[in-house]
A and B are shown apart, each in its own frame.
Chain A
Amino acid sequence: MKLEHNFFTLLGQAQQFTVDRAALKKRFRTLQREYHPDRYAAKTPQEQRLAVQFSAHLNTAFSTLDNPVKRATHILELSGVTIDHQNSTIKDPIFLMQQMETREAFDDARAENDLPALESLFNQVDTQFQACQQDFAALLDASQLLASADEKNARDTVGKMQFFEKLTDELTSLIRSLTQ
């Protein structure tokens, strides 16, 4: 079976960073309604196997486009730019300095179980995360083609997004455990 590897094409969305999440979800549901293995339970074993494959592929596509970091990574991959999340480093000294300070503030607030400090830190990091996403959208959505000069910039922006995502996740779970 031929699997469409451009997830934007697969889920009928324009190939850009800004997505309409409601439209994305609607399209995903329409396709799952057609191809989920449950729709093939009375069909031949061959067709059932294909449905499992395609339905799993749809799940991967949806979870990729629904998450900003994965979506950005996918866009870059479609432009031939691969990102090794585990081994990529950001060399922007100002960013690195800021993040070290944020980390320290996070560790202090965690040690003190300081909920107001954690919440204010969350708002600060989330704002930076959103700004970073807007940067990426500005870089990519204007033109489908990525100029080589922008490639490094785009790569760094995704790296920063990943950093913010990890931090907001940690903050969210910590805040939740303290408020329960």
Chain B
Amino acid sequence: MALLQISEPGQSPVPHQFKRAIGIDLGTTNSLVAAVANKGGANNGVANVIKDAEGRAILPSVVHYDASGAQCVGYEAQAIAADDPYNTLASFKRLMGRGLNDVGDTSQFQIATPKNTLKDALADTVDKNDVIRIATAAGEVTATQASAEILKSLTTRAADALGGAIEGAVITVPAYFDDAQRQATKDAATLAGLNVLRLINEPTAAAVAYGLDKADDRHIVVYDLGGGTFDVSILQLSEGVFEVLSTGGNSALGGDDFDLAIVQWALSQANLSAEQLSAQEYRRLLMDARAAKESLTDNNSVALSIQSSAVTWAGELSRDAFDMLIDALVAATIAACKASLNDADLTAGEIADVVLVGGSTRVPLVRERVTALFQQAPKTDVDPDQVVALGAAIQADSLIGNNRDSDLLLLDVIPLSLGIETMGGLVEKIIHRNTSIPSTRAQEFTTYKDGQTALAVHVVQGERDLVSDCRSLARFELRGIPPMVAGAARIEVVFNVDADGILDVSAKETITGVSTHVQVKPSYGLDESEIAQMLKASYSHASEDRDARMLAEQRVEAEGLVDAVNMALAQDGNLLNDVERADIDASIAAALAVVGQSDAQAISDAVAALGRVTDTFATRRMDQSVRAALQGKSIDDVADGSL
């Protein structure tokens, strides 16, 4: 046997390398990317938003598709929107993981401009139980695909700025996002070829950006009013651990509604209806309304006008009048704050810090009401537009291992209860909302009829008692149950929610142990074959070389795995006998032999083989570590061999 190199316990055999990790705020209206700079390798870098070539931090979440199949995003797409509204998508985050049933009146749902509502834009093939597809000159497009274009653009921007391929990303989602919406976000990252380290909730990211983890034990409220969504989260901070106690909000309420309220006001003042304006004219009015809203932050009144072929109108909107227009909307957010306080078992007076997120929190009435509720001025020193992306970047830096000294830990909760349909269309809740994640719950069910061999399981998410009032997440059938009398079979359905808040359901018949087949079909999502197809299609449109990208991705994965295994061997090599050790070393050598070559499949196979051969080793390490922890010894003691 060849002599093996063993490194110092606790130290990596490979010198610690700075890895390029980014944080992405994938917003309804605007998106941003940020990263923690590697300052002289000291890893005490500061998070910064990465700007585009023109020095702009924001990328408007707008995608334009043209007949040739090419896309453009951001400001470029926004500029085309007025001239070509039917092939421009905006606000598509509201469609992530949603079906037609969720959207309601499609004629009121604007895709880019009021002239391009979902009703007009919907692809003919979509039925009400399907994922929403929008017809464009470049073919049918889903919100997931449009989001992938935004992610790709931000990733390219970051890779240029950081000088190399991005190795991992943290993407933020509203805390209130349900399973389907989170899954759709992850699918978008897959389409964009991005390795997702974690999905984290926007409010949690904001608290991280404020560096509140350095503060003493306290309760924090994050009030996040974005373009299209409102979120409130209550966090408890203790010794660097952020624990989300409760979340609430409304995934269809945001600053865009303030703009629309101004538009409605202007139209009524001018005795016009939206139909009397052309797409361009309406879009102009909408942009003027947004500018008026922003102007009212620092001014007591603002001039507003409508120039259309039909009529010319000019008027003045005062701050007081604007406050009245949005009063009910702001009141709804305050009510949600109170509900979240109740869920967390706290009163407003027990809150130490209030953090504001989202451009809409610049509106004076919002600040006024938030200040009144919590009896203190909210924190505003980090730009509310950037704070989420900055927090995501800090978390990405920590997750990828650049900042090993960080004590920062986010313990999040599931925002909405998960359950399954039982007899009579009722919901049996299996995981309740505000349960800490990751979470595992098992529930037993039985058969209803003699000789029943299959069981249809319908997974839903929501707080109501009736299935029809909750969101349908997935349906699957459990087949191959041995025929027994009614009530004799014991079917265990296991719900696993991972740290991203994404659900995985499995089921088995426990008495006979007969293996049963489970297939989960997402109600409003894309299944894996669809994603694979979209990936393929995106390569044929884009100029990038598909094979080269796949190879690059496989290499990153293989190198990461070899690093991780080497680290594990250095720490706990003593848990292996000679034969096992030789197997692992051989697999590492095999992986290293192919990683420099250009056969992506060979690399992928080597990665899989190395994974298999280290499976038992991983379990033993975990068992040893947990055993030591339960005896009150730290992990370092174990590595030192002093156990």
Among B73-81, B94-102, B508-516, B626-634, the stretch in contact with A = B626-634
Contact yes or no, A47 B568, CB < 8 A:
yes
The residue of chain A having its C-beta at the shortest distance from the C-beta of B618 within the complex is: A46
Q: Does A42 contact B (CB under 8 A)?
A: yes
Instruction: Tell me which of A36, A44, A60, A180 contacts B411 (CB under 8 A).
Output: A36
* Contact digits for A12-47, partner B, Cβ 8 Å, 1 yes 0 no: 100000000000010001011111111101111111
Q: Does B409 contact A (CB under 8 A)?
A: yes
List chain A residues, Cβ under 8 A from B338.
180
Contact yes or no, B439 A59, CB < 8 A:
yes
List chain A residues, Cβ under 8 A from B407.
33
- Knowing A29-B238, A44-B564 are in contact, say whether A12-B438 is a contact too (CB < 8 A): no
Min C-beta distance of B216 to chain A, whole Å: 15
- Knowing A35-B626, A36-B411 are in contact, say whether A46-B496 is a contact too (CB < 8 A): no
Q: Does A50 contact B (CB under 8 A)?
A: yes
List chain A residues, Cβ under 8 A from B565.
44
Q: Does B480 contact A (CB under 8 A)?
A: no
Min C-beta distance of A56 to chain B, whole Å: 4
Top 4 nearest A-B pairs (CB, nearest first) are A46-B618, A42-B401, A41-B399, A56-B438
Min C-beta distance of A97 to chain B, whole Å: 30
Min C-beta distance of A149 to chain B, whole Å: 31
Min C-beta distance of A153 to chain B, whole Å: 28
Which A positions have Cβ atoms within 8 angstroms of B?
A: 1-2, 4, 9-10, 12, 25, 29, 31-39, 41-47, 50-57, 59-60, 62-63, 173, 176, 180
Min C-beta distance of A36 to chain B, whole Å: 6
Contact yes or no, A56 B496, CB < 8 A:
yes
The residue of chain A having its C-beta at the shortest distance from the C-beta of B396 within the complex is: A41
Contact yes or no, A43 B564, CB < 8 A:
yes
Min C-beta distance of A174 to chain B, whole Å: 12
Q: Does B273 contact A (CB under 8 A)?
A: no
List chain A residues, Cβ under 8 A from B400.
41-42
List chain A residues, Cβ under 8 A from B564.
42-44, 47
The residue of chain A having its C-beta at the shortest distance from the C-beta of B241 within the complex is: A29
Q: Does B621 contact A (CB under 8 A)?
A: yes
Contact yes or no, B561 A38, CB < 8 A:
no
Min C-beta distance of A105 to chain B, whole Å: 23
The residue of chain A having its C-beta at the shortest distance from the C-beta of B239 within the complex is: A29
Contact yes or no, A34 B629, CB < 8 A:
yes
Contact yes or no, A36 B499, CB < 8 A:
yes
Task: Count A-B contacts at CB 8 Å.
Answer: 111
Q: Does B635 contact A (CB under 8 A)?
A: yes
Q: Does B138 contact A (CB under 8 A)?
A: no
- Which size bracket describes the interface of B in this complex? 35 or more
List chain A residues, Cβ under 8 A from B561.
44-45
List chain A residues, Cβ under 8 A from B301.
none
List chain A residues, Cβ under 8 A from B239.
29
The residue of chain B having its C-beta at the shortest distance from the C-beta of A49 within the complex is: B618
List chain B residues, Cβ under 8 A from A39.
409
- Knowing A47-B622, A50-B622 are in contact, say whether A41-B440 is a contact too (CB < 8 A): no
Instruction: Tell me which of B409, B435, B440, B635 contacts A38 (CB under 8 A).
Output: B409
* Contact digits for B417-442, partner A, Cβ 8 Å, 1 yes 0 no: 00000000000000000011111110
List chain B residues, Cβ under 8 A from A51.
622
Min C-beta distance of A25 to chain B, whole Å: 8
List chain A residues, Cβ under 8 A from B143.
none
- Knowing A1-B622, A36-B411, A47-B622 are in contact, say whether A55-B499 is a contact too (CB < 8 A): yes
Q: Does B577 contact A (CB under 8 A)?
A: no
CA of A44 to CA of B620, assembled, Å: 14
Known: A4-B626, A12-B632, A60-B441. 12 other contacts (CB 8 A): A35-B629, A37-B498, A38-B198, A38-B398, A41-B168, A41-B197, A41-B198, A42-B564, A57-B440, A60-B439, A63-B436, A180-B338
Contact yes or no, A53 B409, CB < 8 A:
no
The residue of chain A having its C-beta at the shortest distance from the C-beta of B440 within the complex is: A56
CA of A32 to CA of B241, assembled, Å: 9
CA of A41 to CA of B399, assembled, Å: 6
CA of A51 to CA of B630, assembled, Å: 15
CB pairs A–B below 8 angstroms (8 shown): A12-B632, A32-B411, A34-B635, A36-B499, A41-B401, A52-B498, A54-B622, A63-B436
List chain A residues, Cβ under 8 A from B168.
41
Q: Does B342 contact A (CB under 8 A)?
A: yes
List chain B residues, Cβ under 8 A from A25.
238
List chain A residues, Cβ under 8 A from B615.
46
The residue of chain B having its C-beta at the shortest distance from the C-beta of A60 within the complex is: B440
Instruction: Tell me which of B436, B623, B632 contacts A1 (CB under 8 A).
Output: B623
